[in-house]
Amino acid sequence: MKSGQLRKYLVMGSNQCSRDPHEVLREAIAGGITAFQYREKGNGARLGQERLMLGRSLREICKENDILFFVNDDLELAIQLGANGVHVGQADKEVTYIREHHPELLIGLSVSNETELANSEIDYVDYLGAGPIYPTATKEDAKESVGTDWIRRIKIVHPTIPVVGIGGIDPTNASNVIEAGADGVAVISAITKAVDIKAAVRQI
Ligand code: TZP
Ligand code: MG
- Domains in the chain: boundaries: 8-203
pTM of this prediction exceeds 0.90 = yes
Side chain identity at 133, as an amino acid letter? I
* φ/ψ of residue 51, rounded to 5: -65, -40
Query: How far apart are the C-alpha atoms of 14 and 39, rounded to whole Å?
Result: 8
Find the catalytic residue in 8, 14, 59, 110: 110
ipTM > 0.90? yes
Residues with CB under 6 A from ligand 1: 11, 131-132, 136, 138-139, 142, 166-169, 187-190
Per-residue pLDDT of the chain (204 residues; tens, 9 = 90+): 887 999 999 999 999 998 999 999 999 999 999 999 999 999 999 999 999 999 999 999 999 999 999 999 999 999 999 999 999 999 888 999 999 999 999 999 999 999 999 999 999 999 999 999 999 999 888 888 999 999 999 999 999 999 999 999 999 999 999 999 999 999 999 999 999 999 999 999
> What CATH code is assigned to 8-203?
3.20.20.70
